[in-house]
Amino acid sequence: MEQNSENRFELGARLAVCAGFVRKGKIPADIGTDHAFLPIYLVTEGIVPAAYASDINEDPIRSARSHIARYGLDDKIITFTCDGLADIPPDKADDIIIAGMGGDNIAAILGRADWLKNSRYRLILQPMSRASRLREFLYGNGFEIREEKAVCEANRVYTVICAEYCPDAPSYEEYDLYAGRLDASDPNAAALLRKQAGILLSVAEGCAAKKDYAGQAHYIQLAERLIAGSKGE
């Protein structure tokens, strides 16, 4: 987070996309907050009146508290040292942000908070890896991915998923777990789709090495579909 010439704070591209999904006037909870840059930005910009910030480790929470104090926000950003959403009050938080963790860890955190199965919450999720596993958790537990946006930071492309509980959402197919709701007309999204295709081609090679030719054909077909999707076909 940096202070620009107008004395306003700027987030890095990845957290800026997360911030863009937070609903104005709602109360966000930033899980795995570390430095607390995201809630500090949201409150100082007047996007939200207050926020929660949690982290499982003491050192990040100490860093978060020191940043929060530096900006005089102790009465607006409440911190917890806890696992995931364990101490977040379900009746007060609206938008749940979990950024900068692996997709499996994010899914596990969500899985321990059954109260999120309510359309009043918005989930803003930024997996560093295994986005497909996170999408599988979401689809399999009644959450719908409303929007997904790819973002490039430090030469690496990430996805940010915006999801809500919607048990009547249409069913999904395996392709959706890899393609998500990325919009291929965005070059960053197209790059992510091609990267995912490359991962699936490696999986196909692994299948071939084990003489699993049906598996090989399956993953090659998925990869080809992703490459076609990345070209908007």
Binding site for ligand SAM (CB under 6 A): 15, 31-34, 54-57, 60, 83-84, 99-101, 105, 109
Tell the smallest beta-carbon distance from residue 64 to ligand SAM (Å). 9
Nearer to ligand SAM, 11 or 220 (CB): 11
Cα distances (Å, whole numbers) of residue 32 to 36, 70, 79, 210: 9, 20, 11, 39
**Token pair in block for residue 64:** 């978060």
Q: How far is the CB of 167 from ligand SAM (least distance, A)?
A: 25
Residue ranges of alpha helices (H) inside 91-186 are 103-111, 131-140, 174-179
- Which residue blocks in the chain are alpha helix, DSSP H? 13-21, 37-44, 58-70, 103-111, 131-140, 174-179, 187-209, 213-230
In the complex with ligand SAM, the residue whose CB is nearer, 77 or 226, is: 77
Its sign, for the CA torsion 51, 56, 59, 62, is: positive
Q: How far is the CB of 127 from ligand SAM (least distance, A)?
A: 10
Minimum gap (Å) between residue 209 Cβ and ligand SAM: 34
- Which residue lies nearer to ligand SAM by CB, 64 or 220? 64
Give which of 117, 96, 130 is closest to 22, Cα–Cα. 96
**Among residues 116 and 227, whose Cβ is nearest to ligand SAM?**
116
Cβ 218 to ligand SAM shortest distance, Å: 33
**H-type alpha helices, 71-186:** 103-111, 131-140, 174-179
Q: Vertex 208, ends 205 and 212: CA angle to 5°?
A: 130
Q: Which residue, 102 or 215, is less far from ligand SAM as judged by CB?
A: 102
Nearest-approach distance from CB 105 to ligand SAM, in angstroms: 6
Query: Nearest-CA neighbor of 77 among 38, 39, 32?
Result: 39
Closer by beta carbon to ligand SAM, 88 or else 220: 88
